[in-house]
């Protein structure tokens, strides 16, 4: 079908849809996407919002199982080569057809300079277009070693139009770390069920149903108005007054209040995200400390002292109001490979922490800067305040800088931090994700991209590589267990807890709440 004919057909579909009742869904969140570029930031809110506009080759269904998206089928041609058959008839929002060249380009872009998705492409050696069955377009992805979970790993690599990126000077990703912007900061052109209508960063983003979408949709939503409302009280007031229809998260202190409203409901559930503390273990001297000529965090005794000085139970009960599960690991239940028997925290013991500091040569403690977001995770700034208060009791004087994620993420992703709080949800729902992206030694290919403190253990790296290619489940779980146990003994990071989900909404809204905290609007129905 010629492009102009397709546009006439799409317009006709839109007119018919317009004859039906238009349904606007007004959504609020404590934060905003940092750009409309799907490769700019590997962060759940960013990927969640843009996942309505862009699509991967392989998606997830309501139960998080793999499901065909832009690829209709996939298979391993050899231990290191996977073939993906592309879906026919898919068009971008500007009406141009999806091609194998677009897919190859998107993977190259996601693996290139400035991309925040490189941890998901680190194992990929090459991506090429090939002829598929029945003459359909297909691509082959070759990996450096056998990689049985590759389809899981690429489920967050969203596909862009090469021609659109060329026309809009967006061939490389937006890189906020270096202050690099392009048209993809404010514009978007995906294949997803919703298309971008308007974008005002930090204020308002409007999406509308894409009339030319390749599949039927169960949602009756025709427009989504997404509004970031940082202040908890203001966000709750907007829900109570009817100004918005759906919000995430509901502040912990307001859950009962929202539940008590006859017109509203709260959907709660477990989340796969682990909140943890990271420490700079790479520099010889910390950026923000009164200790000169050495780095206290390079000493395991100091890291253990920080760990044992944190009163995790008080954080759970008072800061998180019971809506958190303390953890000793960088992943929790629901993630493939999770070893429950290792999930036992070191005891809270300030006296032991003081002894460890003295043994390490810091009997009077030391000063250190700490970076923390105040609009990303549940009670994130309050968690950091509690940690700072705990550490003060053992003589570690924290200079806390809590800030909006729009400035926080660029800073810590440049590794301009000594001590920081971060959250991580394994995008593959597999332990390899956190091992490769957060724990392994950083390299140029994207491994350890979010290991911002530079923790390094050669044995853990070797185990991570072995986990990638191991196909026997029992052996693979044993490798995962050994790697996580070594990391825990090293105190490479300080895990805190898995937070819980709390979405507030009008009672006439039905939706799916997956434990990865993604919010696909195609699964929302307004009754």
On whether both 324 and 188 belong to a single domain, the answer is no
Inform me whether the pLDDT recorded for 442 exceeds 80: yes
- Residue 66 falls inside a structural domain: yes
Inform me whether the pLDDT recorded for 525 exceeds 80: yes
CATH number at residue 391: 3.10.105.10
Inform me whether the pLDDT recorded for 164 exceeds 90: yes
- Residue 14 falls inside a structural domain: no
Residue 525, sorted as left (phi over 0), alpha (psi -120 to 50) or beta, turns out to be: beta
Torsion angle, alpha carbons of 62, 66, 72, 78, to 10: 180
On whether both 349 and 299 belong to a single domain, the answer is yes
Q: Which residues contact 337 (CB under 8 A, 6 or more apart)?
A: 331, 430, 431, 432, 467, 476, 477, 480, 481
- Residue 256 falls inside a structural domain: no
Mean pLDDT, range 277-293, rounded to an integer: 97
- Cβ density class 143-154: b for 16+ within 10 Å, e for less: beebbbbbbbbb
Q: Which residues contact 216 (CB under 8 A, 6 or more apart)?
A: none
Do 510 and 204 contact (CB within 8 A), yes or no? Answer: no
- CA 58 from chain centre, in angstroms, equals 17
Inform me whether the pLDDT recorded for 509 exceeds 50: yes
Inform me whether the pLDDT recorded for 468 exceeds 90: yes
Do 494 and 487 contact (CB within 8 A), yes or no? Answer: no
Report the candidate in 207, 189, 190, 209 with the shortest Cα–Cα distance to residue 199. 207
Q: What is the CA radius of gyration of the chain?
A: 23
The pair of three-digit structure tokens given for residue 266, joined into one six-digit string: 């709260």
Helix, strand, or coil (residue 363):
coil
Bond into 249 cis (ω within 30): yes
Report the candidate in 292, 296, 309, 234 with the shortest Cα–Cα distance to residue 29. 234
- Residue 223 falls inside a structural domain: no
Averaged pLDDT of the chain: 94
Inform me whether the pLDDT recorded for 327 exceeds 50: yes
Query: For 84-132, how does the pLDDT look when each residue is reduced to its tens digit (9 = 90+)?
Result: 999 999 999 999 999 999 999 999 999 999 999 999 999 999 999 998 6
DSSP sequence for 340-404:
GGG--PPPP-HHHHHHHHHHTT-TT-EEEEEEEESSSSTTHHHHHHHHHHHHHTTTEEEEEEEE-
Q: What is the DSSP letter of 450?
A: T
**pLDDT for position 395:** 98
CA distances from 419 to 11, 177, 292, 312, 381 (A): 53, 18, 16, 18, 14
- Residue 475 falls inside a structural domain: yes
CB atoms near residue 349 (< 10 Å): 15
Could you tell me the pLDDT band of residue 4, with boundaries at 50, 70 and 90? very low
The pair of three-digit structure tokens given for residue 357, joined into one six-digit string: 């500091």
On whether both 448 and 512 belong to a single domain, the answer is no
Measured distance CA(119)–CA(111) in Å, rounded: 8
Query: For 8-67, how does the pLDDT look when each residue is reduced to its tens digit (9 = 90+)?
Result: 444 444 444 444 589 999 999 999 999 999 999 999 999 999 999 999 999 999 999 999
Inform me whether the pLDDT recorded for 355 exceeds 90: yes
The pair of three-digit structure tokens given for residue 333, joined into one six-digit string: 């239940």
DSSP sequence for 253-308:
GGHHHHHTSTTEEEEEEEEEEEEEEEE--SSSS-SSBS--SS-GGGSHHHHHHHHH
Report the candidate in 72, 142, 69, 145 with the shortest Cα–Cα distance to residue 111. 142
On whether both 333 and 394 belong to a single domain, the answer is yes
- CA 163 from chain centre, in angstroms, equals 28
Domain that holds residue 382: 271-500
Strands 264-279, 494-506: pairing kind = antiparallel
DSSP sequence for 142-177:
EESS--TTHHHHGGG-----HHHHHHTT-SS--BTT
On whether both 70 and 142 belong to a single domain, the answer is yes
Do 170 and 143 contact (CB within 8 A), yes or no? Answer: no
- Residue 255 falls inside a structural domain: no
CATH number at residue 114: 3.40.190.10
Residue 101, sorted as left (phi over 0), alpha (psi -120 to 50) or beta, turns out to be: alpha
Report the candidate in 162, 163, 192, 485 with the shortest Cα–Cα distance to residue 337. 485
**pLDDT for position 140:** 97
On whether both 462 and 512 belong to a single domain, the answer is no
Q: For the chain, what's the residue count?
A: 527
On whether both 405 and 459 belong to a single domain, the answer is yes
On whether both 67 and 172 belong to a single domain, the answer is yes
Could you tell me the pLDDT band of residue 134, with boundaries at 50, 70 and 90? low
CB atoms near residue 521 (< 10 Å): 25
Q: Which residues pair with 130 in a beta bridge?
A: 138
**pLDDT for position 477:** 97
Name the percent of the chain lying above pLDDT 70.
95
Mean pLDDT, range 219-234, rounded to an integer: 97
**pLDDT for position 13:** 44
On whether both 174 and 301 belong to a single domain, the answer is no
Inform me whether the pLDDT recorded for 274 exceeds 50: yes
Mean pLDDT, range 304-327, rounded to an integer: 97
On whether both 297 and 392 belong to a single domain, the answer is yes
**pLDDT for position 11:** 41
Report the candidate in 37, 332, 6 with the shortest Cα–Cα distance to residue 174. 37
- Residue 36 falls inside a structural domain: yes
Inform me whether the pLDDT recorded for 249 exceeds 60: yes
Could you tell me the pLDDT band of residue 176, with boundaries at 50, 70 and 90? confident
CB atoms near residue 230 (< 10 Å): 15
On whether both 305 and 396 belong to a single domain, the answer is yes
Query: For 68-83, how does the pLDDT look when each residue is reduced to its tens digit (9 = 90+)?
Result: 999 999 999 999 999 9
Inform me whether the pLDDT recorded for 6 exceeds 70: no
Number of domain units in the chain: 2
On whether both 474 and 515 belong to a single domain, the answer is no
- Residue 222 falls inside a structural domain: no
């Amino acid at each position: 079908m010629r492009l102009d004919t397709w546009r006439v057909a799409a317009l006709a579909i839109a007119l018919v849809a317009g004859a039906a009742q238009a349904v606007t869904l007004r959504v609020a969140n404590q934060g905003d996407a940092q750009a409309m570029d799907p490769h700019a930031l590997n962060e759940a809110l960013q990927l969640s919002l843009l996942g309505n506009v862009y699509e991967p080759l392989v998606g997830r269904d309501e139960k998080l199982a793999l499901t065909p998206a832009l690829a209709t089928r996939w298979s391993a041609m050899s231990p290191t080569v996977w073939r993906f058959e592309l879906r026919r008839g898919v068009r971008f929002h500007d009406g141009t057809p999806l091609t194998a060249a677009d897919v190859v380009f998107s993977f190259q872009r996601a693996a290139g300079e400035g991309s925040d998705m490189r941890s998901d492409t680190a194992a990929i050696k090459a991506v090429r277009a090939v002829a598929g069955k029945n003459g359909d377009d297909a691509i082959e992805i070759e990996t450096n070693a056998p990689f049985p979970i590759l389809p899981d790993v690429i489920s967050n690599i969203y596909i862009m139009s090469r021609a659109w990126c060329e026309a809009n000077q967006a061939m490389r990703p937006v890189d906020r770390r270096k202050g690099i912007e392009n048209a993809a900061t404010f514009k978007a052109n995906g294949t997803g069920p919703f298309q971008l209508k308007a974008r005002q960063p930090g204020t308002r983003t409007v999406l509308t149903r894409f009339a030319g979408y390749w599949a039927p949709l169960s949602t009756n939503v025709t427009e989504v108005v997404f509004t970031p409302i940082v202040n908890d009280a203001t966000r709750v007031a907007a829900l109570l007054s009817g100004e918005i229809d759906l919000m995430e998260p509901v502040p912990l202190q307001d859950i009962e209040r929202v539940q008590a409203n006859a017109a509203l409901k709260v959907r709660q559930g477990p989340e796969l995200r682990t909140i943890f503390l990271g420490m700079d273990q790479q520099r010889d001297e910390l950026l923000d400390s009164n200790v000169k000529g050495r780095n206290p965090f390079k000493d395991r005794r100091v890291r253990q002292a920080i760990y044992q000085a944190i009163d995790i139970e008080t954080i759970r009960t008072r800061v998180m109001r019971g809506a958190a599960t303390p953890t000793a690991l960088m992943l929790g239940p629901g993630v493939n490979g999770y070893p429950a028997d290792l999930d036992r925290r070191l005891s809270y013991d300030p006296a032991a922490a003081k002894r460890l500091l003295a043994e390490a040569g810091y009997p009077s403690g030391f000063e250190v800067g700490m970076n923390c977001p105040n609009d990303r995770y549940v009670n994130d700034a309050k968690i950091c305040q509690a940690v700072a208060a705990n550490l003060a009791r053992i003589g570690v004087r924290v200079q806390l800088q809590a800030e909006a994620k729009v400035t926080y993420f660029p800073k810590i992703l440049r590794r301009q931090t000594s001590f920081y709080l971060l959250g991580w949800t394994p995008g593959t729902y597999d332990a390899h994700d956190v091992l490769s992206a957060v724990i392994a030694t950083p390299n140029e290919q994207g491994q350890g991209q979010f290991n911002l403190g530079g923790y390094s253990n050669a044995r853990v790296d070797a185990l991570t590589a072995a986990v990638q290619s191991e196909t026997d489940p029992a052996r693979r779980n044993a490798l995962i267990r050994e790697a996580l146990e070594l990391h825990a003994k090293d105190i490479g990071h300080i895990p805190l807890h898995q937070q819980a989900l709390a979405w507030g909404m009008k009672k006439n809204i039905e939706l799916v709440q997956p434990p990865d905290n993604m919010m696909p609007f195609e699964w929302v129905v307004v009754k």
